[in-house]
Structure 1
Amino acid sequence: MSKWYSHYDDIDGLRGAVAEGRHRDIIGGLWEALGTLQLDFLKQQGLKPGHTLIDIGCGSLRAGVPLTRYLDAGNYYGIDLRPELLEAGYDREIAAEGLAEKLPRDNLHATAEFDLSVFGIKFDYAIAQSVFTHMPISRLTDCLLAIRPNIKAGAPVYITFFERPEDADPSAPLPHEPGGIVTHPGEDPYDVKPSALRAACPPGWSLDIIGEWTHPRDQRMACFRHEG
């Protein structure tokens, strides 16, 4: 990779943090709060134990632990850029919680290109929490195009984003409350205007901007679906 999008691209720093036991911190902390928030939100959106779910950018399984506990055995899947985070999440969180029998290790896959084909199924639900807040919005388009063959027609793909108002200065840093995060249109953490989010939606996909969902750092929620 010729350009760092975020600190996740600092491989040596990430490996050092994981080796020191900071696999929760490297993905942003708020372990219990954000894991529970995602589970509660998805249940409100109709997620049932019998559904299959792909967690895009699952990291060290902050949401993976409560989702594995809730879903039927084998129904939680995750992808992440960094295999070190997947290993730490599985060994230090899933196994430690006694959930290894519910989550086969092969349900986790390291990929830089949002490749879901390795799983060989079509998913009922997908979520990408605090993924596209760390990379340019063009990568969201790449993601939707890549995952489409493995997402059921009409299935929801939830993504979070930092919203920049349409009338905001296009270059000024933008503070968010709660959380105190300051975002930018061109560097990590990234924000995006609703119009740019719509423009990132590929042909054949629809977008519903849900907005507020009580995220502790003011990330907003959007839902994409493809027509099949």
Structure 2
Amino acid sequence: MALSSSSSPKGIVVTVPVLVLSVAAAAIFLFFLLSSLSSCSCPTATSAIAAAVSGGGDAKCLNSGSGGGSGRFGERISQTAEDVEWVNRQIEFNGLHMQQNVLRKGINPRTRAQQLQDLIDFKGISHYEGEEASNHTALPCPGGLLVEEHHSNYGEPWAGGRDVFEFLAESVHLAPESLVLEIGCGTLRVGLHFIRYLNPEHYHCLERDELSLMAAFRYELPSQGLLQKRPVIVRGEDMDFSKFGTGVVYDLIYASAVFLHMPDKLVWVGLERLVDKLKPYEGRIFVSHNIKFCSRLGGDECTKRLKNLGLEYLGKYTHDSLLFNHYEIWFGFRRSKA
């Protein structure tokens, strides 16, 4: 079958197959054209106010940010200098002043102690009475955890956990599929950030304190929406890692302010047990604050003992906090042979 053009003196003939192919080619060209125009998540004309606040500049795609480690879908770990500059611009644009940013009476001006007393007096946060009082809360939580008293149980602000995560994650080029072991995770001040970033079951922790574990399981994980990440958190002490199974090899093992509270002999026992659980060469062990378990032996003796275990000392590192005038000291080790 053919179609003829009557307006042409010679009668141009177009077959149906040719017509179909022409339409298909035009559709494909249009598809790629639209795709190229929509590939960048750029602001629309209605974002003039946002552009003014941010200081203008060219529109950029979502994954064009630089700096910091990167993970799934190009997500950065650390905040960059551009991020800090952006925050400061928002503060300036909105006329905010640090000296006026103090605690004041508001919708709920009660202190944590007052909130806790209210929870005790009014049977938690339940409005139910009698037999119904215990039938509506999936994870009943102690009042002290609900008012986050455990956030004050550390020698530095709770926000410092993010700083620790950023330093460690970037030091080992952390990826979502990496395996991480924390010795003494407490109430997950640091661990929450690892759990959120890593694949399910890829964060492991050995913790001895029952109250800390209660806070982790009954408040932090549910409140942060991280139960589906299934972190492997084990109650234990004396550097016993047997419950994590055999054949597990970690990309990162770290102890934040833990080894300095342990007898030197126990720390060395732990290191001996951890060597085979650390990925050779690329894997890292990081210890914070000091390594007196090593320095008390003397430089040469410590080096020899580490070498006998198959470990190598890499050096001392410092990492500044983003939010408060503070830095942490870390000491790095690696497994020197397979």
TM-score w.r.t. length of structure 2? 0.48
Q: Does residue 99 of the first structure (1) align with residue 262 of the second (2)?
A: no
Asked if structure 2 preserves the Cα contact closer than 8 Å seen for 1:113 and 1:146, the reply is no
Deviation at 1:41, TM superposition (A): 0.8
Asked if structure 2 preserves the Cα contact closer than 8 Å seen for 1:61 and 1:90, the reply is no
Q: How many residues align?
A: 183
Asked if structure 2 preserves the Cα contact closer than 8 Å seen for 1:31 and 1:62, the reply is yes
Partner of 1:67: 194
2:332 to 218, 223, 228: 223
Query: Which residue identity lines up with residue 289 of structure 2 in the other structure?
Result: F
User: 1:77 aligns to what SS in structure 2?
Assistant: strand
User: 1:157 aligns to what SS in structure 2?
Assistant: strand
1:119 to 233, 244, 247: 244
Distance 1:44 1:20, change over 3 A: same
Please show how residues 73-152 of structure 1 align to structure 2 within 5 Å.
73-104=200-231, 107-120=232-245, 121-152=248-279
Deviation at 1:197, TM superposition (A): 10
Asked if structure 1 preserves the Cα contact closer than 8 Å seen for 2:275 and 2:311, the reply is no
Asked if structure 2 preserves the Cα contact closer than 8 Å seen for 1:162 and 1:219, the reply is no
Q: Report the structure number with the largest CA radius of gyration.
A: 2
User: 1:225 aligns to what SS in structure 2?
Assistant: strand
Report the Cα distance in structure 2 between the residues aligned to 1:38 and 1:79, rounded to whole angstroms. 18
Partner of 2:151: 24
Distance 1:32 1:122, change over 3 A: same
Report the Cα distance in structure 2 between the residues aligned to 1:98 and 1:91, rounded to whole angstroms. 12
Provide the aligned C-alpha RMSD in A.
2.9
Query: Which residue identity lines up with residue 41 of structure 1 in the other structure?
Result: F
Deviation at 1:59, TM superposition (A): 0.7
Distance 1:195 1:23, change over 3 A: farther
Q: Which moved more, 1:121-130 or 1:154-163?
A: 154-163
Distance 1:141 1:19, change over 3 A: farther
TM-score w.r.t. length of structure 1? 0.69
Asked if structure 1 preserves the Cα contact closer than 8 Å seen for 2:206 and 2:237, the reply is no
User: 1:24 aligns to what SS in structure 2?
Assistant: helix
Higher helix share: 2
Unaligned runs of 5+ in 2: 1-141
2:285 to 157, 175, 180: 157
Report the Cα distance in structure 2 between the residues aligned to 1:94 and 1:133, rounded to whole angstroms. 27
2:165 to 34, 39, 51: 39
Unaligned runs of 5+ in 1: 1-17, 164-184
Partner of 1:170: none
Partner deviation per Cα, 1:146-196 (whole Å, 9 max, x = no partner): 222322223101111247xxxxxxxxxxxxxxxxxxxxx7xxxx9966956
User: 2:185 aligns to what SS in structure 1?
Assistant: coil
The sequence identity of aligned pairs, in percent, is 23
Query: Which residue identity lines up with residue 233 of structure 2 in the other structure?
Result: L
Report the Cα distance in structure 2 between the residues aligned to 1:66 and 1:99, rounded to whole angstroms. 10
Partner of 2:21: none
Partner deviation per Cα, 1:37-60 (whole Å, 9 max, x = no partner): 122112321111110101111111
2:313 to 185, 207, 224: 207
Higher strand share: 1
Runs of 4+, deviation exceeding 6 Å: none
Deviation at 1:115, TM superposition (A): 2.1
Q: Does residue 54 of the first structure (1) align with residue 54 of the second (2)?
A: no
Asked if structure 2 preserves the Cα contact closer than 8 Å seen for 1:210 and 1:220, the reply is yes
Report the Cα distance in structure 1 between the residues aligned to 2:265 and 2:216, rounded to whole angstroms. 28
Partner deviation per Cα, 1:179-225 (whole Å, 9 max, x = no partner): xxxxxx7xxxx996695697263622111122322266654211122
Asked if structure 2 preserves the Cα contact closer than 8 Å seen for 1:54 and 1:125, the reply is yes
Report the Cα distance in structure 1 between the residues aligned to 2:275 and 2:251, rounded to whole angstroms. 12
Deviation at 1:111, TM superposition (A): 1.5
User: 2:186 aligns to what SS in structure 1?
Assistant: coil
Please show how residues 176-195 of structure 1 align to structure 2 within 5 Å.
195=298
Asked if structure 2 preserves the Cα contact closer than 8 Å seen for 1:116 and 1:150, the reply is no
Asked if structure 2 preserves the Cα contact closer than 8 Å seen for 1:127 and 1:159, the reply is yes
User: 1:221 aligns to what SS in structure 2?
Assistant: strand
**Of the two structures, which has the highest relative contact order with CA contacts closer than 8 Å and spacing of 6 or more?**
1
Report the Cα distance in structure 2 between the residues aligned to 1:116 and 1:68, rounded to whole angstroms. 19
User: 1:87 aligns to what SS in structure 2?
Assistant: helix
Report the Cα distance in structure 2 between the residues aligned to 1:192 and 1:110, rounded to whole angstroms. 29
